[in-house]
């Protein structure tokens, strides 16, 4: 499916690169990344349809890690500490009500409730996450997409942390948020997204399947201003998370703090091209370093049905060099789903043999997964990390 620009609505998009992706639960798809010749915003196009993406979220999306027993990571706790104080400082006090779109497992809203927000409500398309929010934190959520949900309530604060980059029509959703706050003397919105910064500061897999929009500081400000929100506070981090992030607190009251937007076409085009060259070289180098071990193994299993496995296959010659016996994951949501030529099975369903090897494709959760697989190493199964980093920056 070809898209139009998510910021200015322009249809003149230039495709910068395209791959065939082996997506979990879906057929082979041509996924590309394009730039708007008008405003210079970068988005995923061609991409899958909205219904296909919703199928992915409802059946595949998992927000907790078995190694944490459904508890938030240390970085998630840290980020919420900052977000609450950041909003409190920008507003003057915490609002009395908050709506979070993309509420995941409910942890964020539980923290705002603990901090004194008296009415909280989530919107979340993943059924498993809605159940977790209720079970873990007693947080109520509307089980629907950001595009389709409705509410008759008014909320002083709307929270969208790492949501806008996922939406097919983010401007429409921001307009919906603005409409929810129309009756108020002043409303606030807090948005946080990955920041499309210098290519050298971006992590492997930055251009991912789930992220279909890419924000710079300039086009994020433009997206808010165009929907009636006025930035009042901004925070950027480059080293504390997997990828650079930007958070913006904006008000429904007119402000005069921002400069006029100008096209970013030339700069963003160069950034994408440089990053893409580095990305392909990175994945292949990491695979080459462990290729001899994989080729000597009796059987090779990929650990993790999902996007990182998809990127591993798309960006390397793995399938040409190694016979992959199967695919496994601890998430029940993924069992039985087909990804490429494999069906994901529970680890317990595999007849493990000494000399087998497991390749962990995940970047964000690699260390946690590796630590949780000691039981396989006890069986003389080699557990291999592709990226081999002690990652403390996961969300």
Q: How far apart are CA 395 and CA 67, in angstroms?
A: 14
Q: Does 112 sit behind a cis peptide bond, omega within 30 degrees of 0 on the bond before it? A: no
Topology at the third CATH level for domain 291-385: Rossmann fold (3.40.50)
Tell me: pLDDT of 63 over 60: no
Domains 1-290 and 291-385 share a fold: yes
- Within 10 angstroms of residue 293's Cβ, the number of other Cβ atoms is 13
| pLDDT per position as a tens digit, 27-49 | 888 999 999 999 999 999 999 99
Q: Are 42 and 34 in contact (CB under 8 A)?
A: yes
Mean pLDDT computed over 104-109: 95
Which is it for the CA torsion 155, 157, 140, 56, positive or negative? positive
What is the chain's percent helix, strand, coil content, to nearest 5?
Answer: 35, 20, 45
Q: Give residue 58's pLDDT.
A: 65
Domain boundaries, the chain: 1-290, 291-385
Tell me: pLDDT of 136 over 60: yes
Q: Are 163 and 212 in contact (CB under 8 A)?
A: no
Q: Give residue 60's pLDDT.
A: 60
26 against 167, higher pLDDT: 167
Cα distances from 315 to residues 118, 252, 379, in angstroms, run 47, 44, 31
Question: What global pTM score does this model have?
Answer: 0.90
Q: How far apart are CA 28 and CA 339, in angstroms?
A: 9
Q: Can you say whether residue 138 is alpha, beta or left, with left for phi > 0 and alpha for psi between -120 and 50 degrees?
A: left
Provide the token pair at 339: 């990804």
> Residues of the chain with pLDDT > 70: what percent?
95
Tell me: pLDDT of 184 over 80: yes
CATH of 1-290, one of 3.40.50.2300, 1.10.760.10, 3.40.50.150, 3.40.50.1820: 3.40.50.150
Provide the token pair at 285: 């180098």
Q: How far apart are CA 72 and CA 257, in angstroms?
A: 35
Query: What average pLDDT is seen over the chain?
Result: 92
């Amino acid at each position: 499916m070809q898209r139009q620009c998510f910021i200015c609505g322009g249809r003149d998009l230039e495709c910068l690169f395209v791959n065939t992706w082996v997506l979990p639960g879906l057929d082979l798809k041509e996924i590309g990344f394009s730039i708007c010749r008008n405003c210079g915003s970068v988005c995923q196009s061609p991409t899958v349809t909205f219904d296909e993406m919703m199928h992915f979220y409802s059946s595949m999306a998992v927000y907790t890690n078995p190694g944490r027993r459904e508890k938030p990571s240390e970085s998630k706790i840290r980020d919420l500490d900052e977000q609450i104080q950041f909003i409190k400082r920008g507003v003057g006090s915490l609002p009395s009500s908050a709506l979070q779109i993309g509420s995941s497992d409910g942890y964020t809203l539980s923290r705002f409730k603990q901090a004194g927000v008296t009415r909280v409500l989530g919107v979340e398309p993943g059924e498993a996450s809605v159940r977790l929010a209720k079970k873990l934190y007693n947080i109520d959520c509307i089980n629907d997409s950001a595009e389709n949900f409705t509410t008759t309530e008014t909320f002083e604060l709307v929270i969208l942390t790492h949501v806008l980059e996922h939406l097919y029509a983010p401007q429409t959703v921001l307009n919906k948020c603005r409409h929810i706050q129309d009756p108020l003397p002043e409303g606030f919105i807090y948005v946080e997204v990955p920041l499309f910064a210098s290519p050298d500061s971006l992590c492997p897999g930055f251009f991912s399947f789930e992220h279909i929009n890419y924000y710079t500081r300039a086009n994020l400000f433009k997206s808010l201003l165009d929907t009636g929100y006025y930035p009042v506070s901004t925070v950027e981090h480059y080293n504390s998370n997997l990828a650079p992030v930007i958070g913006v607190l904006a008000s429904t009251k007119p402000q005069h703090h921002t400069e006029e937007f100008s096209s970013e076409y030339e700069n963003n085009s160069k950034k994408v091209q440089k990053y893409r060259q580095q990305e392909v070289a990175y994945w292949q180098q990491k695979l080459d370093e462990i290729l001899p071990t994989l080729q000597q193994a009796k059987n090779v299993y990929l650990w993790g049905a999902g996007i990182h496995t998809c990127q591993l296959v798309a960006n390397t010659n793995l399938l040409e060099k190694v016979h992959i016996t199967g695919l496994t994951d601890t998430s029940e949501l993924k069992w039985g789903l087909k990804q490429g030529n494999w069906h994901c099975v529970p680890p317990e369903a595999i007849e493990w043999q000494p000399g087998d090897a497991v390749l962990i494709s995940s970047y964000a959760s690699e260390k946690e997964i590796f630590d949780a697989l000691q039981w396989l190493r006890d069986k003389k199964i080699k557990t291999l990390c592709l990226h081999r980093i002690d990652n403390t920056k996961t969300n």
